């Protein structure tokens, strides 16, 4: 049985300098659910997360964690909320991993008798048990990020806010962290609000997606429904051309077919066209043939979340 763990209603923020960061957005995150909050740079994601955490005062609207208003009942609400903000800057680099967890555990009111075993469990969960006595300043960014998540989970909060948790991580570290986040929701029932620019991560992890642009909601639905909605009237054609195109030829291609996207890697050229009609694709193939370019592969596929995101945020221009 899921329940609403985080309930955000008409949250808006205009900063004192007049910049409107968030124009009034509403969403909820249920227990065991991951909601990905997506948007281009400056769209209001971090401001939203910080308003939910009570770190930025909203101009209007409210955020409730387990039914507790984060501003009016802050102390109680904070007992149910953990957050990892600003990349790896969440823990003391001069302290060891264990010392950090002891400090934040005391601060968050974890009973003394439970704290050490809780720290042991969390260090094992995030794979830092062997490194627990090393100063955090000697950790890699991925390890620091894992420790920050462990610190946010010390008091076993129902709601977890993760602001760009994989920023700056290499692929293996990002994948390991992704698995941790997935387990937190599926096995521990945490409600996770996640912001990220890594669309494949959001597509794999998120049960629901909220896309915002300039502080306004552009789309808010389950990930599956959002993809399906775009699948019904849009798909993507990928054409792989052997050899790299000269700059002049690329320029001509973009003039002739302004909706295509191109990329060149390993001696081949990838041409992607979203929402193209069959006749348009045939026209492009004929044009490529006319340039004596060898077409290695042509395929049609469903759009990814990244492509849906691009469509949504461009449509909103």
Instruction: Give least dist CB 83 to another protein, A.
Output: 6
Pairing, β 159-163 against β 191-195 = parallel
Closest approach of another protein to the CB of residue 61, in Å: 15
Within 8 A by CB and 6+ apart from 16, the residues are: none
d(CA 151, CA 276): 48
Residues near another protein (CB under 8 A) are: 13, 15-16, 21, 47, 50, 53-57, 75-76, 78-79, 81-83, 85-95, 99, 102-104, 106-109, 112, 135, 151
Q: Nearest distance from residue 108's CB to another protein, in Å? A: 5
Smallest separation (angstroms) from another protein to the CB of 113: 11
CA distance 169 to 268: 28
Q: In what order do the strands lie in the sheet with 60-65?
A: 20-30, 4-14, 60-65, 68-69
Please identify, using beta-carbon distances, which residue of 90 and 198 lies nearer to another protein.
90
Give every CB contact of residue 80 below 8 A, 6+ residues apart in sequence. 5, 65, 66, 68, 157, 158, 159
Distance CA 33, CA 45 (A): 18
3-class SS of residue 160:
strand
- Tell me whether residue 117 or residue 232 sits nearer to another protein (CB atom): 117
Closer residue to another protein (CB): 103 or 287: 103
Residue closer to another protein, measured from CB, 87 or 127: 87
* Between 90 and 195, CB nearer to another protein: 90
Q: How far is the CB of 73 from another protein (least distance, A)?
A: 11
């Amino acid at each position: 049985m899921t329940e609403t763990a985080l309930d955000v209603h008409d949250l808006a923020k205009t900063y004192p300098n007049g910049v409107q960061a968030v124009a009034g957005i509403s969403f909820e995150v249920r227990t065991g659910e991951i909601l990905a909050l997506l948007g281009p740079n400056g769209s209001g994601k971090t401001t939203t997360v910080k308003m939910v955490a009570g770190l930025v005062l909203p101009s209007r609207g409210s955020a409730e964690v387990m039914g507790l208003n984060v501003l009016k009942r802050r102390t109680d609400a904070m007992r149910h909320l953990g957050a990892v903000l600003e990349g790896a800057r969440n823990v003391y680099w001069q302290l060891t991993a264990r010392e950090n967890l002891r400090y934040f555990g005391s601060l968050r009111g974890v009973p003394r008798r439970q704290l050490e075993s809780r720290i042991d469990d969390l260090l094992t969960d995030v794979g830092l048990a062997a490194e627990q006595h090393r100063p955090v300043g000697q950790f890699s960014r991925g390890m620091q990020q894992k420790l920050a998540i462990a610190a946010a989970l010390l008091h076993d909060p129902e709601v977890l806010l993760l602001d760009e948790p994989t920023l700056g991580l290499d692929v293996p570290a990002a994948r390991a962290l992704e698995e941790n986040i997935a387990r937190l929701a599926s096995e521990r029932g945490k409600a996770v609000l996640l912001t990220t620019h890594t669309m494949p991560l959001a597509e794999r992890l998120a049960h629901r997606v909220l896309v915002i642009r300039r502080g306004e909601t552009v789309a808010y639905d389950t990930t599956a429904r959002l993809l399906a909605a775009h699948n019904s009237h849009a798909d993507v054609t990928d054409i792989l051309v052997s050899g790299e195109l000269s700059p002049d030829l690329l320029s001509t291609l973009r003039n002739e077919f302004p909706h295509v996207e191109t990329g060149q890697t390993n001696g081949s050229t990838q041409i992607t066209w979203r929402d193209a009609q069959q006749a348009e694709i045939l026209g492009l193939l004929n044009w490529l043939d006319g340039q004596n370019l060898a077409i290695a592969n042509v395929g049609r596929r469903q759009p990814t979340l990244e492509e849906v995101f691009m469509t949504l945020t461009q449509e909103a221009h």
